Structure 1
């Protein structure tokens, strides 16, 4: 075989081998790409699993924190209620300490003289001439004493009348008849008095009412009177 023939034969072999090489390279590239894709898919799945696990953990932590926050809010609300109750009690104690002394004394007419009554029904007597009103619990506009603190109070009331007519006054607590003072004689003047100690709650009202169909008299000498004072708190 000549050199030329040998070269030609070698060229034919190369030409025939090249497509085979390309085919092998193509198959190898496809396998590599498939392997890379499979690896990438596995990595993505692993990352997703990790994220899912992490999200579940975070959700659990959030749930725990929300529950703890609700418990703290409930505790704070309870403490707020307790503090408000304590503040109310303290304010009441302060009010009681501030109102240590309560006393008043008044007579029926502020000036001049004359009779009050008779009327066919009971009326509240308004004692207008105020001598003492410590604590301002007695109201000279209405004739009513209102207890500022819970405690025991002592009250005195007296009347004067002259002439042939009945004279009677009654001590009332919140509309309840407590004690009465009543006199009736044909001639001359009559005087009478009474007293009572009462346990009063805050806001209880005490007054003196003129008995129906009777009358009382007062003048600058202050015969008909109403007085009261706090003995002690409860």
Structure 2
């Protein structure tokens, strides 16, 4: 079985999401590839179709802002796995992270915007979320 996806935040145009006073689910709407259709660009959820080891990575771009950082958290079901976070007062800022996870059929992996932070994207696709099945188990 082949499972892989890659998507950027905005379907078109340019824009910034956030800040919000609570963590907010991110939906990556511009799909580069979605082999196996396990990623849903309407919900932002990747749902594991088979038990196996999967690798995920995400890149978060934000406008420099003295009051708000740029950050996102990778979740497996309701469990926080890791965060990409960066803060600088001007210019642009980009952070990234990733993890290899053992998933059972139906496990859900998604990103949330870190509270009080921003994420930006445009036609250059700075903010992305990708994942793929390494092997079944």
TM-score (norm. length: structure 2): 0.97
- Give the Cα–Cα distance (whole angstroms) in 1 for the partners of residues 59 and 117 of structure 2: 14
| Matching residue of 1:205 | 108
Which residue of 34, 54, 74 maps to 1:171? 74
Matched residue SS, 2:98:
strand
Structure 1 position 185 matched with structure 2 position 82: no
Bigger relative CO (Cα 8 Å, ≥ 6 apart): 2
1:118 to 19, 27, 31: 19
In structure 2, the residue matched to 1:155 is 56
Aligned residues: 135
Q: Which structure shows the bigger proportion of residues in helix conformation?
A: 1
Query: Which ranges of structure 1 fall in alignment gaps of 5 or more residues?
Result: 1-99
Q: Specify the structure having the higher radius of gyration (Cα).
A: 1
TM-score (norm 1): 0.57
Alpha-carbon shift at residue 150 of structure 1 (Å) = 0.2
Structure 2 gaps, min length 5 = none
> Larger strand proportion, structure 1 or 2?
2
CA distance in 2, matches of 1:123, 1:142: 12
Q: 2: distance between equivalents of 1:108 and 1:162?
A: 15
Cα deviation code 1:72-124 (max 9, x no counterpart): xxxxxxxxxxxxxxxxxxxxxxxxxxxx1000000000100010000111111
Q: Which of residues 220, 225, 231 in structure 1 aligns to 2:123?
A: 220
* Residue aligning to 1:53: none
* Cα shift readout 1:22-75 (whole Å, capped 9, x = no counterpart): xxxxxxxxxxxxxxxxxxxxxxxxxxxxxxxxxxxxxxxxxxxxxxxxxxxxxx
Please report how far the alpha carbon of residue 163 of structure 1 lies from its aligned counterpart in structure 2 after TM superposition: 2.4
* Partner SS state of residue 185, structure 1: coil
User: Counterparts of 1:232 and 1:125 in 2: how far apart (Å)?
Assistant: 27
